[in-house]
Structure 1
C-alpha cells in the first residue's frame, strides 16, 4: 500500500504524465463513464487551460501499485464522474438558523 506522499510523487513523474497523455488520446479526450450513459463530455488538449478530464486508475493506485502504469487499468473520466466514483461529493447543506423559529 502506498502512502499519500508516494502517490503525490508518482503523479508528478514523467512516466505518469506520459501514460496519462496516451490514455486521454486513446479515449479521444472523452469521459468514458459519460459515454456509457449516452452523454458526451470531451476536453481539449491545451496546457494553458484548466483540465476538465482526469485519468483514473480502475483499481486504485494505493492498493494496486503494480498496476500504476498498466494502460488497461486506466480510463478517462470527467471531474464530476471521478469525484462521484471516489465519493468526494460531500456537500453540506447550509442550515438556515431561522428555520425552526416561529414566524410572527
Structure 2
C-alpha cells in the first residue's frame, strides 16, 4: 500500500491521489506480502497495478506453476533454484529452465524444437506448392538454370569482357560506370552456342535493359537491338 499521503508539487502540498498516473514523484510504499518499505515513482505503481516488491512478484510467479503443469510442449518438473524460473521437460526430451513469466504469457512453448519444426514445415510446404513445376509461373526451368549459370566464373568473365570492351558505357544512353547489364544480342534461350560469345554481348544500363525487353520481349535478335539503339 502507499504510505505517503502528500508530496510537494511546485511549492504546494498535493495529495498523492491527485497525482497524474504519469507522475514521477517518489512515494513510499509497503509490500503487502513481505512488508518491505521502499521508495518508488508513483507512475510505476499505476503501471504495475500493485505495490509488491520485485522479489515477491517473482515468487508469486513461481507459485503459479505446480509440477505437472503443461504449457505447449513443456511440462513443469519443479521450481528452479533461480527465483522466477521453473525446470521444464520438453516433449522432445530436453530439460531446460524457463522463466515463469514466459510460461504464464505462453511466449515459450518448447525448448526451441517447435520453432525449428514449424520452420521445416514452412520450407517443405513452400517447396511443394510454390517451386518449380508446381509454381503458376513455371516455364520449364529456364530461369532457374540461367540463374545458376550466371553464378559461374566463366559467365562472370564473359560479362567482365563485355563491359571492358564497351568501356563500362551503356550503348543506348551512354550512362557510364554503374547499374550496368551485359545484354545478349541474340537471345540467351534461343541461341545457346552464343551465350559466352563476347561479340554477342553488349553493355546496357539497367533502365535501358528493362526498356528493351519490355518492348521486344525475350526472344530477340540483331534487328531488334539495332532498332532499339537507333530510335
**Which interval holds the TM-score relative to the shorter structure?**
0.5 to 0.7
**How do 1:6-17 residues align onto structure 2 when only pairs under 5 Å count?**
6-17=145-156
SS of corresponding position for 2:182: strand
Higher share in strand: 2
**How do 1:68-79 residues align onto structure 2 when only pairs under 5 Å count?**
68-79=195-206
Residues 23 and 31 (structure 1), Cα distance of their counterparts in 2 relative to 1, 3 Å cut:
same
* TM-score (norm: length of structure 1): 0.67
Structure 2 residue runs without a partner (length 5+)? 1-139, 216-231
C-alpha distance in structure 2 between counterparts of 1:70 and 1:56, whole Å: 11
Bigger-Rg structure (1/2): 2
1:62 aligns with 2:201: no
1:32 aligns with 2:171: yes
Relative contact order, higher structure (CA 8 A, sep 6+): 1
Residue among 82, 91, 103 paired with 2:209 = 82
Q: CA deviation at 1:28?
A: 0.4
| 2:9 aligned partner | none
C-alpha distance in structure 1 between counterparts of 2:189 and 2:181, whole Å: 17
Structure 1 residue runs without a partner (length 5+)? 35-39, 44-50, 89-104
C-alpha distance in structure 1 between counterparts of 2:172 and 2:149, whole Å: 24
> Could you say what the CA RMSD is over the residues aligned between the two structures, in angstroms?
1.8
Residue among 140, 146, 157 paired with 1:18 = 157
Q: Residue deviations 1:19-60, cap 9 Å, x none?
A: 1111101000000112xxxxx3101xxxxxxx5000000111
Which contiguous aligned blocks of 4+ residues in structure 1 show a shift greater than 4 angstroms? Answer: none
